[in-house]
């Protein structure tokens, strides 16, 4: 045990002195969620504002004067004098103008006689927001026409609304956050946990083999089993650390995020309980050891850093696919999914955040992860005891 | 004391290796029926061209590789049965070994002392003695990555000797070193002899062997082609240079009738 501890301490020390590991295990995970949340939401908000403020140039052909007036009055529209249809259509295609509305010459008459007036709307679907903004003006006109018709026929508008629907969401704030962040968060922290394990695995196993220091280490009384376990534990700790950093980063980002209603902030504080932390650790520790064991088993086989990278890269897909499956609609933690490593963590995180975790399923999940971790470590121990794998 | 008796080490050959070696045999004997004894207070040298089986032999003594057949005993302990006990008694230094770049000399030596389970009082005393002797105190807390080759070599020596091994194994210890740095290794080997330790070192350089060794074994293609005292080898050599005799012995061993090892002068 002392020997394993000696090896573990030394590996942690050398790993912490390595800039590349520090970046992949601390810096990237901490920054990932704040950058994604703050950066992307701010960016998309700004883009949407910019789009909304954009002046739309619109060609109206044979438009009823009432409607033309509404367009002229709506903010952000510039009316272009009438022109032949092909020219109008081309200028929309070439983005000289943003849209063209070609009203049937009999439009006003049809509408007045309670029919459906025809209008062709030329626009480019690639220019987002044009469609919505034009339809908004048309809808306003439509509502006006409808009201007039109801008046004429002496019908109450309520006649067309037989149902007065009042929706009340009884999901707690915590459950709502669980649904939103719970799906996305595990995907990110599983990925960072794996990536953070990757570099130390290469460095502590293939690196030591490549540099020739392993040969000397093997001539000491430390057994091959002790050496490998010391290394796998060190790799696993780095992985847990990276995953925790990702989660810390996310909650920090949520607190920094401007405009979050106080009740949601309150809910976030509720989520961050000791129970949440313990449940998360219960999954992260075996997950990270599973990654460490699997990566070690592969890294031992490689004789150079380059070879190890080639062998390890495809493993990333094995990690991403189950994590992504958890994002699919309808995927929930059940007795079946709780037994599938990686997928089960992604699904359980949702439930833990929402406070709806089933403890029996959670226990099954932890057991399945421990079994996976033990298997991976057993394989790596086997690989490490082969002479051909450890000596150059 | 190292007793190597009738040791063979066989490697299975892959298809690619068979093609490279132009052979159809399924396996290759890297070491073939090798026997010799290294005594305490004597320097034993294993001489041979590249690929002769020197490293494989030394790795088997150091318990890194298992012999296919035959037995090796280090101070009476079997390298297969009592591998862990053997490793406590040996110090192992190779020319190709690097050190952990991100540790300091002090940390490196402490790491190995911990692996050997040295009590802290003993460690302190050994460390102070070795660090003063080797002049490591000047760069004690610098990262090894920032040290020169000569400094690194001194740290390697301290690392090898920290547990005061009874048997010291050197695998081409001076390869890639300049004369001055190699001098440090030569001194170390002499000190080990003076301290009554069992010393075995491999080399492909006759002059180095001539400088140091008491007993000489020449190995080629896994077989022992000569094993006797250095004194006897010098006599065998006569007017010829030692290197010329070495080459003659190695080339002679390529013919089917290998020369007798003892008393054929």
Tell whether B106 is covered by a domain. Answer: yes
β-pair type (A119-123, B2-12) = unpaired
- On average, the pLDDT of chain A sits at 88
Residue of B nearest to A222 (CA): B115
Q: Is A42 on the interface with B (CB under 8 A)?
A: no
Query: How many Cα neighbours within 13 Å face the side chain of A257?
Result: 24
Q: Is B90 on the interface with A (CB under 8 A)?
A: yes
How many angstroms separate the CA atoms of A296 and A308, rounded?
A: 10
**Which helix (H) or strand (E) is A164 found in, with range?**
none
| Cross-chain Cβ contact A17/B87 below 8 Å | no
Domain that holds residue B149: 36-67+82-252
Per-residue pLDDT at B264 exceeds 50: no
pLDDT for B146: 94
Per-residue pLDDT at B153 exceeds 50: yes
Ranking A87-101, B167-181, B194-208 by mean pLDDT, the lowest is B167-181
pTM of the model: 0.83
β-pair type (A119-123, A99-103) = antiparallel
Position A378 confidence tier, pLDDT thresholds 50, 70, 90: very high
Residue A180: how many other CB atoms lie within 10 Å? 13
Determine contact, residues A348/A357, Cβ cutoff 8 Å.
yes
Return the closest-CA partner of residue A62 out of A113, A120, A122.
A120
User: Could you give all domains of chain A from N- to C-terminal order, each with its CATH number?
Assistant: 2-37+173-390 (no CATH), 55-160 (3.40.190)
Whose structure tokens read 């009082």?
A: B121
Beta-bridge partners for B74: B2, B77
The residue among B114, B116, B165 with the most chain A CBs within 10 A of its CB, best to mutate, is B114
DSSP 8-state symbol, B9: E
* Chain B residues close to A216, C-beta within 8 Å: 92-94, 97, 159
Give how many domains chain B has, as a whole number: 1
pLDDT for A31: 87
**Which helix (H) or strand (E) is A119 found in, with range?**
strand A119-123
**Which helix (H) or strand (E) is B228 found in, with range?**
strand B223-229
Distance set, CA B168 to CA A200, A337, B26, B193 (Å)? 32, 57, 35, 10
Which CATH number do you get for residue B224?
3.40.50.300
Position A99 confidence tier, pLDDT thresholds 50, 70, 90: very high
- Condensed to tens digits (0 to 9), the pLDDT of residues A183-221 reads 778 888 899 999 999 999 999 999 999 988 999 999 999
Position B263 confidence tier, pLDDT thresholds 50, 70, 90: very low
Tell whether B214 is covered by a domain. Answer: yes
- Condensed to tens digits (0 to 9), the pLDDT of residues A139-178 reads 999 998 999 899 988 888 888 888 889 999 888 877 877 7
Residue B127: how many other CB atoms lie within 10 Å? 20
| Cross-chain Cβ contact A6/B115 below 8 Å | yes
Per-residue pLDDT at A84 exceeds 60: yes
Query: How many Cα neighbours within 13 Å face the side chain of A5?
Result: 4
Tell whether B215 is covered by a domain. Answer: yes
* Chain A residues close to B114, C-beta within 8 Å: 2-3, 6
Tell whether B241 is covered by a domain. Answer: yes
Tell whether B24 is covered by a domain. Answer: no
| Cross-chain Cβ contact A212/B159 below 8 Å | no
| Cross-chain Cβ contact B88/A223 below 8 Å | no
Tell whether B175 is covered by a domain. Answer: yes
Per-residue pLDDT at A241 exceeds 80: yes
pLDDT for A8: 97
Position A331 confidence tier, pLDDT thresholds 50, 70, 90: confident
Strand stretches in chain B, DSSP E: 2-12, 27-38, 43-47, 69-74, 77-78, 90-94, 167-171, 198-203, 215-220, 223-229
Residue of B nearest to A208 (CA): B100
Determine contact, residues B102/B179, Cβ cutoff 8 Å.
no
Q: Is A94 on the interface with B (CB under 8 A)?
A: no
- Condensed to tens digits (0 to 9), the pLDDT of residues A26-75 reads 888 888 878 877 777 778 788 888 877 888 899 999 888 888 888 888 88
Determine contact, residues A84/A125, Cβ cutoff 8 Å.
no
Per-residue pLDDT at A262 exceeds 70: yes
Predicted interface score ipTM higher than 0.95? no
Per-residue pLDDT at B265 exceeds 70: no
**Which helix (H) or strand (E) is B29 found in, with range?**
strand B27-38
Mean pLDDT, range A117-134, rounded to an integer? 88
**What part of A 242-281 touches B (C-beta under 8 Å)?**
none
Distance set, CA A370 to CA A237, A242, A282, A341, B214 (Å)? 15, 19, 10, 9, 57
DSSP 8-state symbol, B175: T
Tell whether B189 is covered by a domain. Answer: yes
- Condensed to tens digits (0 to 9), the pLDDT of residues B8-65 reads 999 888 888 888 877 788 888 899 999 999 999 999 999 999 889 999 999 999 999 9
How many angstroms separate the CA atoms of A122 and A95, rounded?
A: 11
**What part of A 165-224 touches B (C-beta under 8 Å)?**
211-213, 215-223
CA distance A338 to chain B (A): 41
pLDDT for B261: 44
| Cross-chain Cβ contact A221/B87 below 8 Å | yes
Determine contact, residues A100/A89, Cβ cutoff 8 Å.
yes
**Which helix (H) or strand (E) is A187 found in, with range?**
helix A173-201
Position B253 confidence tier, pLDDT thresholds 50, 70, 90: low
């Amino acid at each position: 045990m002392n020997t394993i501890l000696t090896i573990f301490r030394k590996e942690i020390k050398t790993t912490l002195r390595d800039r590349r590991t520090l970046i992949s295990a601390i810096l990237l995970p901490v920054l990932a969620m704040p950058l994604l949340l703050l950066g992307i939401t701010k960016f998309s908000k700004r883009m949407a504002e910019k789009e909304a403020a954009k002046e739309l140039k619109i060609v109206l052909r044979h438009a009823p004067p009432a409607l033309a007036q509404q367009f002229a009055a709506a903010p952000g529209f510039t009316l272009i004098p009438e022109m032949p249809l092909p020219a109008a259509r081309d200028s929309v295609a070439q983005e000289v103008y943003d849209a063209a509305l070609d009203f049937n010459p009999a439009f006003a008459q049809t509408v007045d006689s309670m029919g459906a007036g025809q209008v062709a709307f030329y626009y480019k679907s690639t220019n987002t927001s044009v469609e919505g903004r034009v339809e908004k003006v048309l809808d306003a006109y439509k509502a006006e026409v409808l009201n007039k018709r109801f008046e004429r026929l002496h019908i109450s508008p309520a006649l067309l609304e037989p149902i007065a629907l009042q929706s009340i969401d009884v999901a707690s704030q915590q459950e709502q956050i669980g649904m939103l962040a719970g799906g996305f968060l595990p995907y990110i922290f599983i990925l960072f946990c794996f990536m953070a394990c990757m570099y130390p695995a290469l460095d502590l196993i293939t690196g030591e083999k490549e540099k020739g220091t392993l040969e000397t280490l093997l001539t000491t009384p430390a057994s091959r089993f002790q050496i490998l376990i010391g290394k796998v534990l060190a790799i696993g700790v780095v992985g847990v650390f990276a995953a925790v950093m990702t989660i810390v980063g996310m909650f920090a980002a949520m607190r920094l995020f401007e405009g979050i209603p106080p009740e949601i902030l309150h809910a976030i504080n509720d989520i961050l309980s000791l129970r949440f932390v313990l449940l998360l650790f219960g999954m992260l520790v075996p997950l990270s050891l599973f990654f460490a064991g699997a990566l070690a088993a592969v890294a031992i086989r490689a004789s150079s850093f380059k070879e190890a990278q080639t062998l390890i890269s495809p493993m990333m897909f094995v990690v991403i696919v189950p994590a992504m499956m958890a994002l699919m609609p309808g995927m929930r933690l059940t007795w079946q999914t709780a037994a599938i490593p990686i997928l089960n963590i992604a699904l359980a995180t949702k439930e833990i955040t929402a406070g709806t975790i089933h403890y029996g399923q959670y226990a099954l999940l932890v057991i399945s992860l421990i079994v996976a971790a033990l298997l991976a470590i057993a394989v790596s121990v086997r690989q490490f005891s082969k002479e051909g794998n450890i000596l150059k | 004391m190292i007793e190597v008796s009738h040791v063979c080490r066989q490697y299975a050959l892959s298809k690619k290796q068979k093609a490279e070696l132009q052979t159809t045999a399924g396996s290759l004997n890297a070491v073939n029926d090798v026997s010799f004894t290294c005594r305490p207070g004597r320097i034993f040298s294993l001489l041979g061209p590249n690929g002769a089986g020197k490293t494989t032999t030394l790795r088997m003594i150091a318990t890194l590789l298992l012999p296919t057949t035959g037995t090796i005993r280090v101070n009476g302990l079997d390298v297969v049965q009592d591998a862990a006990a053997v490793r406590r008694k040996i110090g192992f230094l190779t020319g190709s070994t690097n050190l952990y770049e991100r540790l300091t000399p002090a940390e490196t030596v402490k790491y190995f002392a911990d692996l050997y389970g040295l009590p802290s009082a003993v460690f302190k005393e050994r460390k102070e003695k070795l660090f003063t002797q080797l002049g490591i105190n000047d760069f004690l807390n610098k990262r090894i990555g920032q040290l020169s080759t000569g400094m690194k070599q001194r740290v390697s020596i301290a690392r090898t000797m920290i547990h005061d091994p009874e048997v010291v194994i050197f695998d081409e210890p001076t390869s890639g070193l300049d004369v001055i740095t190699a001098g440090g290794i030569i001194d170390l080997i002499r000190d080990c002899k003076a301290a009554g330790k069992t010393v075995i070192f491999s080399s492909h350089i006759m002059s180095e062997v001539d400088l140091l060794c008491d007993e000489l074994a020449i190995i080629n293609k896994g077989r022992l082609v000569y094993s006797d005292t250095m004194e006897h080898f010098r006599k065998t050599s006569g007017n010829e240079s030692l290197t010329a005799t070495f080459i003659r012995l190695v080339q002679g061993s390529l013919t089917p009738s290998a020369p007798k090892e003892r008393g054929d002068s």
